[in-house]
């Protein structure tokens, strides 16, 4: 019964939903930010350095090895003796270069003599180098440099100008005199594939940068501009990175935070850049965040639904307890006060007769004394049930107090109310109530009054009470009608 609502269920559910949502949301966000910080710390402190270390180890096997091979060639006794003996048997040199190429899986192998200027390959003589030939500039640069070797990217004339990473190593005779340059080459495509494999394996962006800040080798998963100084976010850090040679750095590009680990590879004279897009790394926990929020929302809705069911059930029970008499199941006087006000308000809008019957069980004290209070309670329950059975749904039955019952008959004038009262009295009198095998005869005295449209409900009840008093004094087990109120 909404008219007897004890508390605001909607407000309670709203508050509970707010608390659950806030708690779940705060817990989920806290977990997300803690995980985010943990992942960032792991990337900076462990993942990227470890990845760089692993990649460097792989590079030492797969890319640095050509440097060692070139060094071996430059210090090979056969090569130096062959030059010092006047380069007489070209087939011997060609076979030597071919064997070095095949043995170590190189893309090309070569030797250029300082004395003759001849460019030897595994196929024999390729050409004679000249200071006037732009494509031979590399040789004169190697001849004049102070380092033992260099790594350079150039087209390979001996292999259809395929872009090749050459390891150019200076060769000296046994007295320390410069006698030429030797080395091997790897195709850039092969190195790119190698780096692409590393990128896929480690889920990082990997590329090599030279001492000028230019990307020299990269995989197929980066769109880096050749000059890193033109890269948004990274550009301002390039000079510092080249100077420090190694370390961890962060920059923002296109709204994403990038974490960068740099290591200098002295064998290659290149910088190894291993980069992680933090947003990509956090994609997993972000999906977990969304999943947790969805689960939290589902749990909140389920809890609210179950709470709504429980509250509805218990509120209904509480409202019943607040508005009904526990023993008889009839309405109590508190409920009557609320309902009669509503009934009288309807009467003022659309006047219809309203009558009241005030009934009292005759000699109820004697029943209690003779049969006990439990029997008395059973009599009250039975009389209430018989009264309800004789009323319409629109009528109101109230336990008025003790053994008294108040019946409010809607749309019923005084004459009709008297007839109904007499019927109820006769039914009660003709229906002995059985308690523990004993048949107890019960009778009612009833007072009848009709609401006159001007008096209060209490006055109408008082007139019914006066009529009941008259019925009691008139011999009980009878119906008396109250006199209409005096117009004065």
Per-residue model confidence (pLDDT) at position 480: 94
196 pLDDT above the threshold of 60: yes
Q: Residue 53 is encoded by which pair of tokens?
A: 């270390």
Of 262-271, 387-396, 423-432, the range with the lowest mean pLDDT is 262-271
- The reply to whether 214 and 236 lie within a common domain is yes
Is the domain of 388 the same as that of 245?
no
The predicted structure's pLDDT at residue 130:
93
Residue 23 shares a structural domain with residue 130: no
DSSP class of residue 187?
Answer: E
Q: What is the pLDDT at residue 230?
A: 86
**What's the pLDDT band for 205 if we cut at 50, 70, 90?**
confident
* Interatomic CA distance for residues 295 and 289, integer angstroms: 10
Beta strands in 129-161 (DSSP E): 149-156
Q: pLDDT digits over 28-41, tens only?
A: 787 777 776 776 67
Secondary element (H or E) of residue 462:
helix 457-473
In this model, does residue 191 exceed pLDDT 80? Answer: no
The answer to the question of residue 56 being in a domain is no
Residues with Cβ within 8 Å of residue 457, at least 6 apart in sequence: 340, 341, 344, 451
pLDDT band at 59 (very low <50, low <70, confident <90, very high): low
446, pLDDT greater than 90: yes
For residue 437, what is the DSSP state? Answer: T
Q: How far apart are CA 137 and CA 237, in angstroms?
A: 33
HSE-up of residue 358 (Cα within 13 Å, Cβ side):
25
Residue 194 lies in a domain: no
Residue 91: inside a domain, yes or no?
yes
**Contact of 114 with 178, CB cutoff 8 Å:** yes
Residue 394 lies in a domain: yes
Together in a domain, 332 and 460: yes
Task: Give the residue from 160, 189, 218 where a domain finishes.
Answer: 189
Q: Which residues contact 171 (CB under 8 A, 6 or more apart)?
A: 73, 74, 79, 80, 83, 111, 178, 179, 180, 181, 182
Determine the pLDDT at residue 264: 87
Q: Is the pLDDT at 321 greater than 70, yes or no? A: no
Residue 416 lies in a domain: yes
Is the same domain home to 182 and 212?
Answer: no
Q: By CB neighbour count within 10 A (0-12 exposed, 13-18 middle, 19+ buried), where does 119 fall?
A: buried
Q: For residue 210, what is the domain's CATH number?
A: 3.30.450.20
pLDDT tens, residue by residue, 97-147: 999 999 888 888 999 999 999 999 999 999 999 999 988 999 999 999 999
Instruction: Report whether pLDDT(90) > 90.
Output: yes
Number of domains making up the chain:
4
Residue 219 has a pLDDT of 63
Same structural domain, 332 and 410: yes
Q: How many of the other CB atoms lie within 10 Å of CB of 147? A: 10
Whole-number Å distance between alpha carbons of 200 and 204: 7
Q: How many other CB atoms are there within 10 angstroms of residue 279's CB atom?
A: 13
312 within domain boundaries: yes
Query: Do 376 and 328 lie in a common domain?
Result: yes
- Answer yes or no: do 23 and 166 share one domain: no
Q: Which residue has the higher pLDDT, 412 or 21?
A: 412
Q: What is the mean pLDDT of residues 188-192?
A: 67
Which residue is listed with tokens 């150039």? 154
The residue with greater pLDDT, 382 or 61, is 382
Residues 381 and 335 in one domain: yes
Identify the residue with better confidence: 435 or 466.
466
Evaluate if residue 5 carries a pLDDT over 60.
no
- At residue 266, does pLDDT exceed 90? no
3 pLDDT tier (thresholds 50, 70, 90): very low
Question: Which range of residues forms the domain containing residue 345?
Answer: 324-481
Domain end point (choices 223, 246, 278): 278
* Same domain, yes or no: 237 and 162: no
pTM, to two decimals: 0.48
Distance, in Å, from the CA atom of 236 to the CA atom of 231, rounded to the nearest integer, reads 9
HEC profile of 219-252: CCCCCCCCEHHHCCCCHHHHHHHHHHCCEEEEEE
CATH code (residue 417): 3.30.70.270
Out of 305, 322, 339, pick the residue that ends a domain.
322
232 in the same domain as 315: no
**Which residues are CB-neighbours of 333 under 8 A, at least 6 positions away?**
398, 400, 401
**DSSP state, 393?**
T
**What is the pLDDT, as a whole number, of residue 442?**
93
70 plus 35 within the same structural domain: no
Q: What is the pLDDT of residue 270?
A: 82
Question: Residue 233 domain-assigned?
Answer: yes
Instruction: For residue 356, give every residue at least 6 positions away whose Cβ sits within 8 Å of its Cβ, in sequence order, or none.
Output: 406, 407, 408, 409, 417, 448, 449, 450, 451, 460, 461, 464
Average pLDDT over residues 442-446: 94
Percentage with pLDDT > 90 across the chain: 41
Instruction: Give one DSSP letter per residue of 30-52, joined into a string.
Output: HHHHHHHHHHHHHIIIIIHHHHH
Q: Please indicate whether residue 487 or residue 79 has the higher confidence score (pLDDT).
A: 79
224 in any annotated domain = yes
Contacts of residue 217, Cβ cutoff 8 Å, sequence gap at least 6: 153, 165, 188, 191, 192, 195, 207, 208, 270
Nearest to 106 by CA among 194, 185, 160: 185
């Amino acid at each position: 019964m909404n008219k007897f609502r004890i508390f605001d269920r909607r407000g309670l559910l709203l508050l509970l939903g707010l608390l659950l949502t806030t708690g779940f949301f705060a817990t989920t966000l806290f977990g997300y930010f803690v995980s985010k910080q943990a992942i960032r710390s792991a990337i900076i402190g462990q993942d990227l350095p470890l990845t760089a270390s692993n990649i460097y180890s792989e590079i030492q096997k797969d890319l640095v090895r050509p440097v060692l091979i070139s060094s071996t060639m430059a210090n090979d006794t056969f090569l130096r003796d062959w030059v010092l003996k006047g380069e007489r048997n070209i087939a011997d040199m060609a076979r030597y270069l071919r064997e070095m190429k095949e043995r170590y899986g190189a893309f090309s192998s070569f030797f250029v003599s300082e004395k003759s200027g001849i460019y030897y390959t595994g196929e024999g003589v390729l050409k004679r180098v000249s200071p006037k030939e732009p494509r031979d500039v590399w040789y004169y640069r190697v001849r004049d440099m102070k380092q033992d070797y260099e790594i350079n990217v150039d087209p390979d004339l001996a292999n259809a100008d395929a872009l090749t990473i050459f390891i150019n190593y200076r060769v000296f005779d046994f007295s320390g005199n410069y006698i030429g340059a030797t080395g091997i080459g790897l195709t850039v495509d092969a190195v790119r594939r190698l780096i692409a494999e590393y990128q896929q394996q480690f889920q990082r962006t990997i590329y090599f940068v030279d001492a000028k800040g230019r990307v020299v080798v990269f995989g197929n998963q980066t769109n880096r501009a050749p000059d890193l100084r033109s890269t948004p976010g990274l550009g301002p850090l390039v000079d510092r990175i080249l100077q420090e040679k190694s370390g961890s750095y962060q920059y923002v590009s296109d709204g994403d935070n990038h974490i960068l680990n740099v290591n200098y590879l002295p064998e290659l004279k290149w910088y190894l850049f291993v980069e992680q897009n933090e947003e990509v790394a956090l994609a997993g926990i972000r999906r977990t965040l969304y999943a947790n929020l969805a689960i939290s929302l589902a749990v909140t809705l389920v809890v609210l639904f179950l709470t709504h069911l429980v509250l509805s059930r218990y509120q209904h029970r509480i409202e019943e307890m607040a508005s009904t008499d526990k023993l008889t199941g009839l309405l109590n006087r508190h409920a009557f006060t609320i309902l009669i006000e509503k009934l009288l308000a309807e009467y003022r809008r659309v006047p219809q007769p309203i009558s009241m019957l005030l009934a009292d069980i005759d000699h109820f004290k004697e029943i209690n004394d003779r049969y006990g209070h439990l029997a008395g309670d059973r009599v009250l329950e039975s009389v209430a049930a018989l009264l309800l059975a004789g009323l319409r749904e629109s009528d109101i039955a109230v336990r008025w107090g003790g053994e008294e019952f108040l019946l409010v008959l809607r749309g019923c004038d005084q004459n009709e109310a008297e007839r109904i009262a007499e019927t109820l009295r006769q039914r009660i009198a003709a229906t002995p109530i059985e308690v523990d095998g004993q048949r107890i005869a019960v009778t009612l005295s009833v007072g009848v009054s009709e609401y006159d449209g001007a008096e209060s409900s209490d006055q109408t009840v008082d007139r019914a009470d006066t009529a009941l008093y008259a019925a009691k004094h008139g011999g009980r087990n009878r119906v008396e009608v109250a006199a209409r109120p005096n117009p004065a």
